[in-house]
Structure 1
Amino acid sequence: MNRTNVVFAGFMLFSLFFGAGNLIFPPLLGLESGSSFGPAIMGFIITGVLLPFMAIMAVALSDNGLISMGNRVHPVFGMVFAIIIYLSIGAFYGIPRAASVAYELGFKQVFHVDGGFALAAFSLVFFGITYLISLNPKKIVDRIGQYLTPLLLLVLAVLVIRAFFTFDNVASSAAGKYASSPLITGILEGYFTMDAVAALAFGIVVINALKDKGATSKRELVKGTFGAALIAGLGLAVVYFSLGWIGRVIPNENGFENGAEILTSAASLLFATGGGFLFGSIVILACFTTCVGLINACSRFFNEIYPKLSYSSYVAIFVLIGLLVSNLGLNMILELAIPLLVFIYPIAIVLIILSLFEYIAGKSQMMFRLSVAATSVYALYQVLTSLGYQLEFLARLLEVSPFFDLGLGWAIPSLLSAVIGYSIDRIKG
């Protein structure tokens, strides 16, 4: 495997992960963590970088990607869960959200327009270009890895380097939960990026890209995927640290409500009238590369399970869905998608960890079944409560689990269930 191809695949993977959400979370963390920035950003990197890296490798080590990971529970579960992952993180959430954020935080910052017509016109242009670039999957690495990612990194570097040499504000004391437990709070903030779910979709994009570049054996694919994931992970860690540092040292006389306001203000302070254009360019590039990757992942997946429709047909379908859903507005997209993501995210994490463990310790179907079942109970509870249902009796049963108040009540029960399931299979031989 040519090392240059692995490097470009790593650049591509970095761009696929680095959407608008990843852009605006770290600055707010830097602002709120203040003097506790070190442990806070370390916690964010643990779950915001390491967990997606594990997901990519879990997909690479599985014979049929995400489907075979779910098949360890049951073949029906494997197919249904994979379809839900691709539809939720892609067609009905990730793709339209990327376009909506590109419009809200990018296009509007540059051109100062608003209204339904402006959103519709932007969406047509955005998805039109996305469609053209996504049509040839074999060119994805070349177009994103060789051209779009270096451009995105260049624009980011201009902002970050200027900030390092300009801002010297003394960090304030840590606020809120960062004051008492900065590492744990950072871990939770990285967890809530939900990038591990996206990694399950992006893993197959990297594998297919390496295949298109000549990788044939399983060993080559795993080794190439590891290299690409390592490059992307290191790049994300450096960028997260840099953006968080901007939030830590930016002058804060008027206060900020979110990361977008921090970066918008930073760009304006550093580049005056050109600041809005710089920040808008970063957002649009970040969202665009993510959107291309998601459309490629979804189209390839559904083309593999139902090849009667061509890859280009699926690209057209997902572009059309993204175009229509994005015009509902960002708030509506989040309202519709968050309950589903809350349900699938814990299950996805359990599948990732167990798949890697199984690769080391040997197969155990009962381990998967018991652990996923226990996790599903907590995930379903979280979904129902997010929809407004009052489940006091069930809450009293589940809240005895550690970390329940943090939204991680599933962690210990899923671990214990996995241990029990693995022991049962070992006893049975």
Structure 2
Amino acid sequence: MTIQRKELLITSFGMFSLFFGAGNLLIPPLLGYNAGDDWFLVTIGFMITAVVIPILGILAHARLQGTLFDFGKKVSPIFSLVYCILIYIIAIAIPSPRTAAATHEIAIFPTFGTSSTLTSAIYFSLVLLFVLNRSKILGLIGKFLTPFIVIMLLAVIGIGLFSTEFNTGISQFETPFSIGVLEGYQTFDAIGAVVVGAVIIVSLNFKNMAVEIYSSKRTLIRKSGFIAGFSLFVIYAGLISVGAYYSSEININAELSNDMQRANLLRDISISALGDFGNTVLSILISLACFTTAIGIIAGTADYFKGLLNNSQTVYSITAILASVLGFAIGQLDFNSIIVVAIPVLLFIYPITIILILLNVLPEKIATPLVFRAVVFITILFSIPDVIGFMSPSETLGFITHYIPLSSQSLGWVLPAFLVFIISVGVELKMKKSI
């Protein structure tokens, strides 16, 4: 089946927009601002966890063409079930409400002065309306919302870069590369990849997308993934570089919370690039980017539980309603509070997600169940000190992590996982030869 250009563009734009939410827009400029002359190293690290890993997740979905359950089933069905439930609970409890909090703090409250309760109620009512009409999600987002978001983003970045003198400040980071990697966690893009990828798969099953054959779906998803990934790369690199080059022109109050620093910096950059109209542009950008991400998260969660319980449309609707109610409740918190809660959760679940994505991209003859189990187990084991160390630093834990490479950068799981992968693949190949 020939893939039409229209289908490719709609899917690519839809995928980009489902990825691009609050953190994706707010985090890069402040990251570049603080990185100063090290902004390029920070960008490389950021791209690994915010672009490369998520796109590999989409490629894994293109290969599996199932649900999130398929990502972890080689470890064991019970592990995969627990992992899926954790991922979807995290998705609807942190990144989804975070989009409402960001919309209120940056776009709604400065303009209208209304309460977060009203914003959250209206926001998730609209999200629920879109999710319950999920067959139109991909087309509507891909045709209308995303092109508008991309055009405005490119305008802010392009005009912003041409309006600056290209002077950067001194870097505030001792390890800019690892800081970039960890800041990429905050975008939730790897988790978004496994959630959003499932939404894309289900959307392509609708007749109006006219894509039914496995090979055609795989090609469409892979091509769309690369286009969405390249778009994310351009936007992220642009936002980080703009933040770095404006570091000598814009002063932000260091006493403010990180979320307000991010918001004020992006607002100042927008106004510098587009004048007073820049504030309006930023408000619309934040609202649309957050809104499309929340739709993708809740639709993905509802899809999963629908499939888990006999493909029931009633289950889909109930899950969507419950997720929206939870989003409404948590979305009334401030953006920074949600991020503080998210960090230890991400330090645990993100490494597991990255490993599952990487293993599912590899050929099956390499990524066997034995390899899956060994690598995932060691990843979980070495992620625990990172979480404990963040939540309650102690001298005893410091003594232990001192001997774990990269542990001081909260990446202590990387080398052990890689070594166990090499060893387990070697053992698997030796066992096959001896048969």
TM-score under structure 2 length normalisation? 0.89
Query: Structure 1 residue 327 and structure 2 residue 327: aligned?
Result: no
What amino acid is the match of 2:106?
L
Contact 1:33–1:173 (8 Å) recurs in 2: yes
Q: What SS does the corresponding residue of 1:226 show, helix, strand or coil?
A: helix
Residue 386 (structure 1) aligns with: 390
The counterpart of 2:369, out of the listed 354, 365, 369, is: 365
C-alpha distance in 2 between matches for 1:161 and 1:54: 28
Q: What SS does the corresponding residue of 1:65 show, helix, strand or coil?
A: coil
Change (3 A) 1:343 1:46: closer
List per-residue Cα deviations over 1:212-240 (Å, max 9, x = no partner). Answer: 21222322222111111111111111111
Gaps of at least 5 residues in structure 1 are none
Q: What is the CA-CA distance between 1:245 and the residue it aligns to?
A: 2.5
Q: What is the CA-CA distance between 1:37 and the residue it aligns to?
A: 3.1
Residue 198 (structure 2) aligns with: 204
C-alpha distance in 2 between matches for 1:345 and 1:391: 25
Residue 351 (structure 1) aligns with: 356
C-alpha distance in 2 between matches for 1:204 and 1:25: 25
- Calculate the aligned-residue CA RMSD, in Å: 2.2
C-alpha distance in 1 between matches for 2:391 and 2:371: 30
What amino acid is the match of 1:150?
P
Q: What is the CA-CA distance between 1:395 and the residue it aligns to?
A: 4.8
Contact 1:8–1:145 (8 Å) recurs in 2: yes
Residue 79 (structure 1) aligns with: 81
Structure 1 residues 394-403 or 227-236, which shifts more? 394-403
Residue 137 (structure 2) aligns with: 140
What amino acid is the match of 2:108?
F
Aligned residues between the structures: 419
C-alpha distance in 2 between matches for 1:320 and 1:129: 12
What amino acid is the match of 2:288?
L
List per-residue Cα deviations over 1:133-177 (Å, max 9, x = no partner). Answer: 111221011111111111212222332232233222522343332
Contact 1:167–1:251 (8 Å) recurs in 2: no
Residue 193 (structure 1) aligns with: 187
Q: What is the CA-CA distance between 1:190 and the residue it aligns to?
A: 2.8
Change (3 A) 1:397 1:266: closer
Contact 1:368–1:421 (8 Å) recurs in 2: no
Query: Structure 1 residue 151 and structure 2 residue 148: aligned?
Result: yes
List per-residue Cα deviations over 1:383-403 (Å, max 9, x = no partner). Answer: 3333327471x5534432211
Residue 36 (structure 1) aligns with: 38
What amino acid is the match of 2:417?
S
Change (3 A) 1:45 1:332: closer
1:97-112 alignment, distance < 5 Å:
97-111=98-112
What amino acid is the match of 1:203?
G
Structure 1 residues 315-324 or 161-170, which shifts more? 161-170
Q: What SS does the corresponding residue of 2:205 show, helix, strand or coil?
A: helix
List per-residue Cα deviations over 1:232-275 (Å, max 9, x = no partner). Answer: 11111111122122212226455225332221112233344333
Q: What is the CA-CA distance between 1:2 and the residue it aligns to?
A: 2.3
C-alpha distance in 2 between matches for 1:92 and 1:107: 21
Q: What is the CA-CA distance between 1:30 and the residue it aligns to?
A: 2.4
Q: What is the CA-CA distance between 1:182 and the residue it aligns to?
A: 4.5
Change (3 A) 1:12 1:53: same
1:153-192 alignment, distance < 5 Å:
153-177=150-174, 182-192=176-186
What amino acid is the match of 2:235?
V
Contact 1:33–1:174 (8 Å) recurs in 2: yes
What amino acid is the match of 2:81?
M
List per-residue Cα deviations over 1:298-335 (Å, max 9, x = no partner). Answer: 11111110234342232222111111121244344334
What amino acid is the match of 2:329?
L
Structure 1 residues 205-214 or 145-154, which shifts more? 205-214
C-alpha distance in 2 between matches for 1:103 and 1:347: 32
Change (3 A) 1:209 1:294: same
C-alpha distance in 2 between matches for 1:328 and 1:152: 26
Contact 1:45–1:187 (8 Å) recurs in 2: yes
List per-residue Cα deviations over 1:360-411 (Å, max 9, x = no partner). Answer: x44421111111111111222223333327471x553443221111111111
Change (3 A) 1:75 1:399: farther
Change (3 A) 1:326 1:189: closer
Change (3 A) 1:418 1:338: same
The counterpart of 2:291, out of the listed 282, 288, 291, is: 288
What amino acid is the match of 2:300?
A
Query: Structure 1 residue 374 and structure 2 residue 372: aligned?
Result: no
1:25-64 alignment, distance < 5 Å:
25-62=27-64, 64=66
Change (3 A) 1:402 1:185: same
The counterpart of 1:69, out of the listed 68, 71, 85, is: 71
The counterpart of 1:18, out of the listed 16, 20, 33, is: 20
List per-residue Cα deviations over 1:49-98 (Å, max 9, x = no partner). Answer: 11110111122222533212211111100111011111102x11111111
Residue 120 (structure 1) aligns with: 117
1:385-424 alignment, distance < 5 Å:
385-388=389-392, 390=394, 392=396, 395-424=398-427
What amino acid is the match of 1:27?
P
Contact 1:109–1:277 (8 Å) recurs in 2: no
Query: Structure 1 residue 242 and structure 2 residue 245: aligned?
Result: no
Over the matched positions of the two proteins, sequence identity in percent amounts to 29
Q: What is the CA-CA distance between 1:10 and the residue it aligns to?
A: 0.9
Contact 1:60–1:204 (8 Å) recurs in 2: no
C-alpha distance in 2 between matches for 1:31 and 1:13: 28
Residue 217 (structure 1) aligns with: 213
The counterpart of 1:7, out of the listed 6, 9, 18, is: 9
